[in-house]
Amino acid sequence: MAARLLYMAAITSAAAIARRDSPSDDLLASCPGYTASNVVETASGLTADLTLAGEACNVYGTDLKDLTLEVSYDTDTRLHVKIQDAANNVYQVPESVFPRPQGQGSEEAKSALKFDYINSPFSFTVSRSNSGEVLFDTSAASLVFESQYLRLRTKLPENPSLYGLGEHSDPFMLNTTDYIRTFWSQDSYGVPEGANLYGNHPVYYEHRETGTHGVFFLNSNGMDVMINNTAESGQYLEYNTLGGVLDFYFVSGPSPIEVAKQYAEITGLPAMMPYWGFGFHNCRYGYQDVFDVAEVVYNYSQASIPLETMWTDIDYMYRRRVFSLDPDRFPIHKMRELVDYLHAHNQHYVVMVDPAVAYQDFPAAFQRGVDDNIFLLRENGSVWRGVVWPGVTAFPDWFSANISQYWNNEFATFFSAEDGVDIDALWIDMNEPSNFPCNFPCDNPDASAEGYPPEPPPVRSPPRALPGFSCDFQPEGTDCAKTEVRSLEIRDSTPRAHFDNLVLSPRQTEGEQKGLPDRNLLFPKYAIHNKAANADSWNAAEGGISNKTVNTDLIHQNGLAMYDTHNLYGSMMSLASHEAMLQRRPTVRPMIITRSTFAGAGTKVGHWLGDNLSKWDHYRLAIRSMMAFASVYQVPMVGADVCGFGDNTTGQLCSRWAGLGAFAPFYRVHNSLDSISQELYRWETTTKAAQKFIGIRYQLLDYMYTAMHAQAVDGTPMVNPLFYLYPQDKNTYALDLQYFLGPALLVAPVTEENSTSVDIYLPDDIFYDWYTHEEVVGEGTATTVTDQEWTDLPLYLRGGVIVPVRAESAMTTTELRTKPFEILVPVGKDGKASGSLYLDDGVSIEQAGTSEIQFEYADGVLTVDGTFGYKAEELRISRITVLGAGGKSGCKRAAKKEITIEVDQPLTEAFTVEVAKA
């Protein structure tokens, strides 16, 4: 109640605001827009001054009178348009967080895009140079550029096909009427539809019959993107932001895959992940102790389910405090023995790290942070305190001068290979940042921290034998020598409130994009539709944008305001953690899985899709969210918590999800403290599904790794919505329950509870049933596949794309790499097929040698060529299988025409095989 009273006091002291809950409101009708002058045109772009064209309207802030326009033809397919304040004071996304793409000095005459403008009131269009088709037209409404509000609207064609604007749980093809997408990172348990979620990717792709284009808005401020169709305004898309500048990148495509690749040139190419990262992972929140974790590892092996990586949630920490171990339940000697066991069995280990550091004397991470001056501070120089799992916490300032030194040291110490927890990858969470128990204004965190952390589970001795594990994991009375351990005495005490070395000096400077002075950083007048607030309207005068997160009036050490940088916090943590992991193991690729992301995050990290629920809706959601991150946002290492995180799963749902998850880039089972156990050996059907689909996944692992490598090299998506591969087929535009993994494998799961059939759309092409190799001729219609038990999932190979697979599966990816290859050749309509295979050692940043192998099939001959720099004795092809051999059949389901030959061919040099004559 006290926190509630404080919240209400803050409300009454805030200024009253003018509310605008819908885009049809006319509060901005009197805004005059701007007039262009001093236009200087060159072959590669133009510059101009923009001056307020009349009396200021000052609706949500103060209208800026003088702006500048800069237009550059960066490449032949990319156009950059930026409108900012002439004084260069308005905040812009720092280059340290989002490095700007390098232009290639293209010219308007060569560009696929054309920029045109009207002087007064100023507006501009972007169109296709070859056809004149308008892609973006801001004459739909006057430009508004205020101190705490920007508005830009573009016309759209009727019934547009739009994708992106994430992170969200809404349909993959976006709604186009009365639809609002809000960008403001929040801790989003249950990933609800119609809400802002953990991350922010202000990019959309629009697909038309004439081609696809992309629009990226580089702005990290809170914003609403409104999409609507009204009688007065027609179809439009409108940006409404709380600040920043209008910084747009347009890419021309014209194919969806080309748009994705061009977007990757802006954000940066995705990080290549380690080969083992594509194995199967298991976790849960709520393992009682290290024995519980070890027993899960043992149970998976006994169930013959390949477990590549074991994960541990915050249970391992002492009272939920980062950089600590619970000495009774997860003591260091047992943790090291667990990791040694996993490594000895070619398995891996990962734990979670949260950004917020417990405001406690133990562990010393807090005091070291004070010594290094790396925490977010109040105006009086005291540490700003919030509340997360351990109770009262401090939050790192990722812009502080010593943050790298601090974070690297914490990782080097706690995750030391010599005497710490030697993790193989990293999981970072709560980095929106979440301050969930402490409602705004969070000025009594001690009261809000009541009940945090929760009481730990009972301490126990190992309850039963665990064969293969050390003596420390065996029950009392076992005839073996246990490790002698000295008990660790922990002094639970709270540090003082003020520290002499934490002194703030004025840091806001003119002309350096630090943010305009005199803004109300807690109570903006425009209310974005942030669902962390008690009501949408509370995001203005009631301070809702600070609710359950860090207060937005905090100033970073470099002078930037949390008001502007909130949406970058997760990506900043990702950057620091990537560096820290590299410091630990400088020669191998870090794998980091994060919750909060911003555009460009894929260059360093992957993403799990957050705290979903064990619901069929969320099983279906896993498909469209994965497609969005992998194919639109350039974050390909992505997947949902298999079987659901919250609530209780069922044997049916978990069996289906075990199959679906096997065909996502990131494949991990994970669930919550208060849910039933759902390790995949818990039910007979989940065991069967896991064995079956992990087996298929592992056979396909090199194919997936090759697709990941292609995305890391040039942005070609490793997950493809159907319209990416069939852009002329209108029936594919809205499909979000089936997809292609890589260029060849069509994944079409059963998506309804208690159903044993599924309607699958097959474009006009040739496909082959994965299991039977039967040829299936797509006719651009849906076909019903029946008799699909809980352990079945329809898979099809696309004709014309060669797929290298391992001839058999294995229990670990290390063992898998010793297996020979089978080359599957699904013949296309033209009787030909082609494909590729990328090989390297799977982990190294600098490779001693790589192989990039090309396969071509025509007229009964398979030709293998390319580069063969990766050398390993086990690299061999043992079998070649041609599907659809013998020409066209014309039947919807043709009789199987298959040729299989056994070979023993090293994959170390070019060769040809005459399949038909062999």
From 289, 292, 354, 432, the catalytic residue: 432
What pLDDT is stored for residue 506 in this prediction?
63
> To which residue do tokens 């619970």 refer?
326
Reading the block at residue 499, the tokens are: 């520290």
pLDDT grade for 805, boundaries at 50, 70 and 90: very high
Give 129-137 contacts, CB < 8 A, sequence gap 24+: 131/210, 133/208, 133/210, 135/206, 135/213, 135/215, 135/250, 136/215, 136/250
Q: Does the active-site annotation cover 429?
A: yes
DSSP 66-78: EEEEEEEEEETTE
Q: Does the active-site annotation cover 611?
A: yes
What pLDDT is stored for residue 887 in this prediction?
53
Q: Is-contact 84 166, C-beta < 8 A?
A: no
Is residue 16 over pLDDT 80? Answer: no
Taking residues 402-428, what's their average pLDDT? Answer: 98
Q: Does the active-site annotation cover 432?
A: yes
What is the 3-state secondary structure of 698-726? HHCHHHHHHHHHHHHHHCCCCEECHHHHC
What is the 3-state secondary structure of 312-345? ECHHHCHHHCCCCCCCCCCCHHHHHHHHHHHHHC
pLDDT grade for 487, boundaries at 50, 70 and 90: confident
From 224, 429, 553, 736, the catalytic residue: 429
> To which residue do tokens 């490594």 refer?
343
Taking residues 317-326, what's their average pLDDT? Answer: 98
Q: Is-contact 768 774, C-beta < 8 A?
A: yes
Q: Is-contact 767 776, C-beta < 8 A?
A: yes
What pLDDT is stored for residue 239 in this prediction?
98
Cα separation, 36 vs 46, whole angstroms: 12
pLDDT grade for 505, boundaries at 50, 70 and 90: low
Helix/strand/coil for 264: helix
Cα separation, 619 vs 643, whole angstroms: 8
Is residue 233 over pLDDT 90? Answer: yes
- Give the model confidence (pLDDT) of 340-388 as tens digits: 999 999 999 999 999 999 999 999 999 999 999 999 999 888 999 999 9
Is residue 568 over pLDDT 70? Answer: yes
Helix/strand/coil for 586: coil
What pLDDT is stored for residue 5 in this prediction?
31
Taking residues 752-768, what's their average pLDDT? Answer: 98
Q: Identity (one letter) of the amino acid at 96?
A: S
- From start to end of 525-656, where are the E strands? 592-594, 606-608, 638-639, 641-642
Is residue 889 over pLDDT 50? Answer: no
Tell which residue, 731, 712, 710, has the closest CA to residue 722. Answer: 731
Calculate what percentage of the chain has a pLDDT beyond 90.
Answer: 91
From 63, 313, 611, 736, the catalytic residue: 611
Calculate what percentage of the chain has a pLDDT beyond 70.
Answer: 95
Q: Is-contact 804 703, C-beta < 8 A?
A: yes
Question: How many secondary structure helices (H) and strands (E) does the chain include?
Answer: 15, 44
- Give the model confidence (pLDDT) of 56-104 as tens digits: 999 999 999 999 999 999 999 999 999 999 999 999 999 999 999 998 8
Q: What element of type H or E holds 135?
A: strand 134-137
